[in-house]
Structure 1
């Protein structure tokens, strides 16, 4: 069993002090802060910015400049802004919002970039179409894509101003998509004039979770810093072992210039000693960084449960394991049902099966252009049910006054414009009241279909529905497979038709999941979070896909030829990706950790894990 190395903290420079020394407007020094799991990275970022504000507030205000912080998620952005008391001297945003803020208004440059990109894409599609042997689904999709790009190319000259929303829909000829904004920013910010604009606006740019920042954009930031090192401080904060998205920069640590500061936070202030020991062994196969537990950390508990993979397997075993953990740890909360622990799964569909929203998630996830909005909650149909309908249904449980107040805030029937233009306001109020009553009647001791709810909303005008949902209502519910077409509207409408036949409780369950109110979460979605009791589910067969393989990481299956080739060439491979994911999930535990392994060879799993020194034989149960 591997043990933690003794580290003399007296020999390690204080990371927070190093960062504050780097944030010097007269003599800026860029840095890369390595901060392992639970080491207080966000605290260091906030304290460093507070210190800089206190020192340079007058100067920054006079010069009209701001400290910029880029975060990976909107939630992280809001949290950091809150800790910094929403100070206007600091602008905190996601990478998409920051990128758009930089390129917005450079309409001629955007138009030319699109002209070059679209021309190239059309040429590549023409080549594929020319080589096609028959007009199959791929041919039709390529043809539709080629025609769409050609129409867009022809219309570029008519567009005077380009638009973009980091959190909403981007429709219309003038709208840019998320990918385009990021790619343009990566190209523009390392060249004048945007290079100088960025440095003049933001003398300090701090990037949280830098290991997951889009690779070409990270290269652009590094290039920009190298061109103007005396005017621009770039601070990267993160942990390369916690890179969980495939478009992050591979081997970021190797790209850090030699003249940068490289402070390190080595104390894990979250996890108990046993968990710190485990995650040190896990990451030892990937790099040489190790952590020590905080002084006085509890011992904690880690257990692995290996079970035979079986077709149609239910999830009762996971409840049984929770009961076992309650007995092992003496912590009754393990036995308090799903809400007594945080269960981490690899794919959203696995959460859907366990929480009962698979019927809502699956049809939407099959439509490629809906996936981003589905996962981040910005899809219009989700905003309809989550943000506008949910408050009305919640208010209906209180009293009639609360209900009508919610309707006033959410319904177009009672918006100021409708009330002002109404010849009879009392009649309009009655219409809204009748609409609310019709809606509430659906839920009286009942779990209505999503289609029934949508029909009432549309028929009464209580809420406006997205166009494609209205089209689906006209066509009616279906259980048919998706149509063989590349038409985006047709695919989206079909997905909504499938939704119409599902119980509304599935939509409500999905709402709770997306809002983080669920006892389940994905391996990728919990970075930065922490929970007293964590159950990690490793199930390659249920997850599907090919990017990750716990069977390979645990030594149950051998590495593929492709993995070996990528390792030899210094590229990412499925073992490295899976190692990082397991590190992230295990390091969420504050007290105890249960790892559940579904595999065809549970005995081999136990043997390999024991031989690798991850766990002791007595910490692994075969079920």
Structure 2
């Protein structure tokens, strides 16, 4: 087990152990840097110490549900992979509960298909004269597809869980799992009893980002089973950044609420900023640690004009902090610097790292599935480049011949056993040809090269450095005809993708392999960095869910915003405040907020009036001269 176990208990940890002993269900509100994961791991180890032997004798386990696979691995490591615990992501855990209930699954799938068909038919019946032909065609095709799938369901003997759904093949996708399992749990008292008997303790991490249906389903288990079942939610509504999350959880009167006000991460000057941001939310005021290793730390709020000098002004801000703090690391981007620049959309990073055209091809012209896979770095059109071409070039430049040969043996048809002549001369000739081809392909990635993605890929396939599947080859050779009625058509995307400069792959890889200082503001929850720059720029970083100018009072609320506030719905102000809090609370040493605005004087007055930070730390270009 890890050092988390040996950390001193906070007052909250002491109370939590009492509740666990009494089988009291609870919610824990743990602010940024408070040691939420430590409390979660302490909960698990306390149960093992006090009741582990009894639970194992009964064949029972303690479930810990995490939001990401990274968190899952981290907690598994913390508890020493002890078999008493079941640690997994929500999708995996839900599937483990239901996978043996195949009859219930089949009933749900049938109802799901029928619901989709009802909606499609209702939509079709309500189509007006202005509805486009491709929308009508898509609707008709979907009705035909789901009708066909429904006819095959009875013949499906077993359902499995994979990435995407194909009901007629017995395949359920991610979305199916989080819709199906909560429904089955909520509507089946026997199933609830089975869950409580198998897992008398279930803890849900990052509860604020958990789907409401999932939360309600497990609450229904607790409502039925009472103190035979302990349900715990560990999270922070102020750190909810995903629209699908429940946020704050309403609990019954017999539950307990715990707050962790500590912040062990941020020094005083950073903590003051995040407390002032949070003050307008749930008013939880966090307390800092004594004798912080970085002393008081520092925080600055820079206000710059929205012009074409953004990057230059960010550099000026960094140089200013380096001088003020006597810290030259603020001027570098090395790993030692541990600096992160947080932008609200990937496009802002793409512009700065030189892969804007590649980004645009995927985000502006590709179907939704490709957009999502591009943002997590797994898009299939990139695989030949990411898995073969770039690794070969990097190995060639480093003169690593053995590794080149290993890679070519896997991907080059020239080195496949079935294609090789028995003679040594033939093998040597092929190796020599591959080496020359690799040398030529490497020049296509030199600085200043204008070689496109299509030119590189065509060269690589012609030289037999790799092979492409038939589908990819059809797009590369231009034999696929565009279908304007198919919203998943890829012809337009590939036309733009193939025109992109191949050198843009370097910036893309640098960004998605986390080798650049840039990250998106939504992607860093749970992380921490010594030095943090938070970019607020509604003009360049347009996002329909967030607006820093509205939050800071620089732009008026829309009619929809005002209605959401009146209806007590999640508003742009709530979402942006939470995101701002998450970003600023990543800083372990220094924090710099950089606002780009069309009126620096107005913004300066507004920021000072909000009292987010002391007036002396509000900096404009005039102060940098």
Q: Decide which of 534, 553, 566 is 2:564's aligned counterpart.
A: 566
Q: Decide which of 40, 54, 57 is 1:45's aligned counterpart.
A: 40
**Does residue 261 in structure 1 map to residue 266 in structure 2?**
no
SS in 1 for 2:28: strand
- TM-aligned CA distance change 1:215 to 1:89, over 3 Å: same
Partner of 2:83: 88
Partner of 2:317: 321
1:589 CA drift (Å): 0.8
Contact 1:476–1:497 (8 Å) recurs in 2: no
Residues 441-461 of structure 1 show CA distances to partners (whole Å, capped at 9, x for unaligned) of: 411473453334433554566
Partner of 2:352: 354
Q: Distance in 2 between matches of 1:411 and 1:86?
A: 37
Q: Decide which of 101, 110, 119 is 1:106's aligned counterpart.
A: 101
Q: Distance in 2 between matches of 1:431 and 1:104?
A: 51
**Does residue 242 in structure 1 map to residue 231 in structure 2?**
no
Q: Distance in 1 between matches of 2:437 and 2:165?
A: 34
Contact 1:476–1:500 (8 Å) recurs in 2: no
1:572 CA drift (Å): 0.4
**Does residue 451 in structure 1 map to residue 454 in structure 2?**
yes
Q: Distance in 1 between matches of 2:95 and 2:428?
A: 42
Q: Distance in 1 between matches of 2:177 and 2:428?
A: 44
Which structure 2 residue ranges, 5 or more long, are not aligned?
1-8
Root-mean-square deviation (Å): 3.2
Partner of 1:148: 145
Contact 1:286–1:576 (8 Å) recurs in 2: yes
Partner of 1:222: 219
Q: Distance in 2 between matches of 1:102 and 1:64?
A: 15
SS in 2 for 1:249: coil
Range that drifts further, 60-69 or 590-599: 60-69
- TM-aligned CA distance change 1:250 to 1:154, over 3 Å: same
- TM-aligned CA distance change 1:374 to 1:145, over 3 Å: farther
Residues 452-476 of structure 1 show CA distances to partners (whole Å, capped at 9, x for unaligned) of: 4433554566556465433321218
Partner of 2:577: 579
Contact 1:555–1:608 (8 Å) recurs in 2: yes
1:568 CA drift (Å): 2.3
Q: Decide which of 201, 204, 210 is 2:201's aligned counterpart.
A: 204
SS in 2 for 1:230: helix
Residues 67-110 of structure 1 show CA distances to partners (whole Å, capped at 9, x for unaligned) of: 22222222222222222333333332222222222232433323
- TM-aligned CA distance change 1:477 to 1:420, over 3 Å: closer
Contact 2:340–2:532 (8 Å) recurs in 1: yes
Contact 1:419–1:428 (8 Å) recurs in 2: no
**Does residue 284 in structure 1 map to residue 284 in structure 2?**
no
Residues 43-80 of structure 1 show CA distances to partners (whole Å, capped at 9, x for unaligned) of: 22223223333444444444443322222222222222
Q: What TM-score results when the alignment is normalised by the length of structure 2?
A: 0.86
Q: Distance in 2 between matches of 1:460 and 1:60?
A: 62
Range that drifts further, 317-326 or 123-132: 123-132
Q: Distance in 2 between matches of 1:243 and 1:524?
A: 10
1:267 CA drift (Å): 1.5
Which structure 1 residue ranges, 5 or more long, are not aligned?
1-11
Partner of 2:376: 376
Partner of 1:473: 476
**Does residue 551 in structure 1 map to residue 552 in structure 2?**
no
1:163 CA drift (Å): 2.8
1:113 CA drift (Å): 2.0
SS in 2 for 1:160: coil
Partner of 2:3: none
- TM-aligned CA distance change 1:258 to 1:411, over 3 Å: farther
Residues 314-357 of structure 1 show CA distances to partners (whole Å, capped at 9, x for unaligned) of: 52222222112212222111111486421000111111111122
Residues 274-315 of structure 1 show CA distances to partners (whole Å, capped at 9, x for unaligned) of: 1111111111111121101101132121111112223x5652
- TM-aligned CA distance change 1:50 to 1:141, over 3 Å: same
Residues 379-402 of structure 1 show CA distances to partners (whole Å, capped at 9, x for unaligned) of: 334455445655555444252122
Range that drifts further, 445-454 or 323-332: 445-454
Q: Distance in 2 between matches of 1:160 and 1:423?
A: 48
Contact 1:343–1:537 (8 Å) recurs in 2: yes
Contact 1:36–1:268 (8 Å) recurs in 2: yes
Q: Decide which of 73, 98, 112 is 1:78's aligned counterpart.
A: 73
SS in 1 for 2:161: coil
Q: Distance in 1 between matches of 2:199 and 2:431?
A: 49
- TM-aligned CA distance change 1:461 to 1:425, over 3 Å: farther
